Amino acid sequence: MLNQRTTRTRALLHAVVLIVLLVLVLACAATSLFFGSRLVPPTDVWQGLVHPETAPEDIAVLVREQRLPRMAMGVAVGAALGLAGALTQGHACNPLADPGLLGITSGAALMIVGAAFFLGVTDPAVQVWFAFAGAVLGAAIVFVISALSGGATNPLTIILAGSALTAFLTAMTTMLVLSGRAALDVQRFWQAGSVAGREMSVLYGVLPYLLLGAMLALLSGRSLTLLGLGDAAASSLGVRPTLVRWVGFVAIVILSGAATAVAGPIGFVGLIVPHVARILGGPDYRWVIPASALLGAILVVAADTVGRLVTLPSEVQASIMLALVGAPVFILLVRRRSPVTL
């Protein structure tokens, strides 16, 4: 009876916190619409959003074609990176793991630069598909290397393979960047990591992949929690470890690849938000995964909004703002945590 009461209390607490986080997502989204490097009265912003036909043309364009896509991109990218970070740390059994360890970011960067160098592709709407293909290809190579070494589902083998591939792909990207001006310009713009300057069509293109990855992540919460007990214990409780890991890796690749494709490399989100989720509600991944999605959306949208306000009238990219916060937090995590054994 006591255990049932404790379980109900914890579930109620989780539900309340998720509602609070959802409200914060909406608040951050509204703030992103109403505030920016150009100061516009809130009434004009509301009119441009709800009644664009009666609003001044420049206000309607600002709100509907710049701020609205930027806000939507921030929510989607932040949620995807938060989900991918929670899955990566859970499957790697390492609280300092990050989706970038799987060769996703480096693969996307190489394809972006290669498309500019060899094909002259500089349109962001076209680049997103090269980046997505590169992210998927980079992760696929990591899994193939792991499988050939006999550790296809071993988290340590996958992380080591990802680190080696990342170094190789980064070297190839640097070689192309130093060989052509167009590749250098594209790399400099994409590497900044930002949700600005993208049209809604770019988000619509990858939205089905983001929804598929989110569904796979949310459905794997219970199994991922049981895997933390060890493969033998999880198997005795009806979990198939190999299947769960492959589903998890597919979800990580889809979520991280799509987010990286549309916004470039935005770091520290997947690293930080799972820790915050565990602090708020414990280690159960049925809680950590949805909480990480909401926290990731809050973090990216808030960082993008603050970046527009701190150096008026210019802007600071979201990835830079996140690095300013994420780097000290990462150092604190490393200093306070003992070495992790996989």
Residue 337 confidence (pLDDT): 56
Residue in 142, 58, 155, 159 with CA at minimum distance from that of residue 107: 142
Contact between 80 and 213 under an 8 Å Cβ cutoff? The reply is yes
Q: Which helix (H) or strand (E) holds 249?
A: helix 241-263
- For residue 75, what pLDDT band results from cuts at 50, 70 and 90? very high
Residue in 255, 258, 119, 263 with CA at minimum distance from that of residue 199: 263
1 token code pair: 């009876």
* Alpha-carbon radius of gyration of the chain: 21
Q: Report DSSP letters for 317-329, one per residue.
A: -HHHHHHHHHHHH
Residue 152 confidence (pLDDT): 56
Percent of the chain past pLDDT 90, that is, above it, reads 24
Q: What is the residue type of 284?
A: D
Predicted confidence (pLDDT) per residue in 11-67, tens digit? 888 899 999 999 999 999 999 999 887 888 888 888 888 887 777 888 888 888 889
For the chain, list the domains and their CATH numbers: 14-336 (1.10.3470.10)
Residue 253 has pLDDT above 80, yes or no: yes
Query: Which residue stretches of 51-103 are H helix?
Result: 57-61, 68-92
* 70-84, 153-167, 311-325: least confident range: 153-167
Which positions ≥6 away from 230 have C-beta within 8 Å? Answer: none
Which positions ≥6 away from 26 have C-beta within 8 Å? Answer: none
Which positions ≥6 away from 261 have C-beta within 8 Å? Answer: 108, 128, 129, 131, 132, 135, 206
Residue 10 has pLDDT above 90, yes or no: no
- For residue 229, what pLDDT band results from cuts at 50, 70 and 90? confident
Contact between 130 and 112 under an 8 Å Cβ cutoff? The reply is yes
Residue 149 has pLDDT above 80, yes or no: no
- For residue 215, what pLDDT band results from cuts at 50, 70 and 90? very high
Torsion of CA 70, 72, 75, 76, to 10 degrees: -110
User: From the CB of residue 218, how many other CB atoms can be counted at a distance below 10 Å?
Assistant: 15
Residue 341 confidence (pLDDT): 40
Q: What angle do CA 270, 112, 268 make, to 5 degrees?
A: 15
Which 3 state secondary structure label does DSSP give 229? coil
- Of 190 and 316, the structure prediction assigns the larger pLDDT to 316
Percent of the chain past pLDDT 70, that is, above it, reads 94
Residue 145 has pLDDT above 60, yes or no: yes
Residue in 263, 254, 255 with CA at minimum distance from that of residue 303: 263
- Of 306 and 40, the structure prediction assigns the larger pLDDT to 306
- For residue 113, what pLDDT band results from cuts at 50, 70 and 90? confident
Q: What is the mean pLDDT of residues 303-307?
A: 92
